[in-house]
């Protein structure tokens, strides 16, 4: 398995994988992925096994210390010189889960953020994933103001 930066021709595969891994109300759209690939490809990586994309991690760079719903929108706050690396999605094809791929993707993006001079990593997650992200050094900051997809999210922040 390799981890590489996203490429425009990955669009169909990542859109399909997102729809498998997230409920429709929470999944990023094809148009959203087009924007992300064009706007912040340095914060978008894919895990590839035998030519197939099996995992994704992506997010924007911002000065915010929490993820707001506006960050998911075009012109929603991406700042290439920002101090925080946000994570919008970390997902792995269900056939490959529990094999360390998500951890490799997370560590890859965290390393890239450190090298770029970022100070913080930020994400939101559901309650059952809090312990998982704490394993990477994230701290639970409580219930998020985000209502993305109608779910209850928790703000998580890690120092780099």
pLDDT in tens, 60-75: 999 888 887 666 666 6
pTM of the predicted structure, to 2 decimals: 0.93
Please give the DSSP secondary-structure letter assigned to residue 60.
Answer: -
- Per-residue model confidence (pLDDT) at position 73: 66
Domains of the chain by residue range: 2-122
Residue 156 has pLDDT above 90, yes or no: yes
Q: Supply the mean pLDDT for the chain.
A: 93
**Ramachandran class of 100: left when φ > 0, alpha when ψ lies in -120 to 50, beta otherwise:** left
Strand partners, 143: 154
Domain 2-122: homologous superfamily in CATH = Gcn5-related N-acetyltransferase (GNAT) (3.40.630.30)
* Angstrom distance (rounded) from CA 7 to CA 160: 26
Overall average pLDDT of the 105-115 stretch: 98
**Average pLDDT in the 134-159 region?**
94
Instruction: Kindly tell me the burial class for residue 44, based on how many C-beta atoms sit within 10 Å of its own C-beta (0-12, 13-18, 19 or more).
Output: buried
Percent with pLDDT over 90 in the chain: 82
- pLDDT value for 69: 66
Percent of all residues in the chain with a pLDDT value above 70, rounded to a whole number:
94
Q: With 70 as the cut, is the pLDDT of residue 76 above it?
A: no
State the pLDDT at residue 8: 97
Q: Is 54 helix (H, G, I), strand (E, B) or coil?
A: strand
The confidence score (pLDDT) of residue 72 equals: 64
Q: Report how far Cα 52 is from the mean position of its chain's Cα atoms.
A: 19
- Give the whole-angstrom CA distance, residue 75 versus residue 106: 25
Token pair for residue 143?
Answer: 């219930």
Residue 71's pLDDT is what?
66
Q: Which ranges of the chain does DSSP label H, i.e. alpha helix?
A: 11-21, 30-39, 101-115, 130-134
Q: What angle do CA 17, 140, 96 make, to 5 degrees?
A: 25
């Amino acid at each position: 398995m390799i981890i590489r930066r996203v490429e425009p021709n990955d669009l169909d595969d990542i859109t399909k994988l997102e729809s498998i891994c997230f409920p429709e109300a929470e999944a990023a759209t094809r148009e959203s992925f087009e924007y992300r690939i064009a706007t912040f490809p340095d914060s978008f990586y894919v895990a590839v096994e035998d030519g197939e994309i099996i995992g994704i991690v992506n997010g924007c760079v911002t000065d915010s210390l929490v993820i707001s719903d506006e960050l998911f929108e075009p012109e929603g706050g991406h700042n290439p010189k920002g101090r925080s690396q946000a994570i919008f999605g970390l997902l792995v094809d269900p056939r490959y889960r529990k094999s360390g791929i998500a951890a490799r993707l997370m560590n890859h993006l965290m390393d890239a953020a450190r090298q770029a001079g970022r100070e913080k990593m930020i994400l939101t997650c559901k309650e059952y994933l809090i312990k998982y992200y704490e394993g990477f050094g994230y701290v639970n900051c409580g219930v998020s103001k985000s209502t993305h997809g109608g779910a209850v999210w928790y703000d998580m922040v890690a120092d780099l």
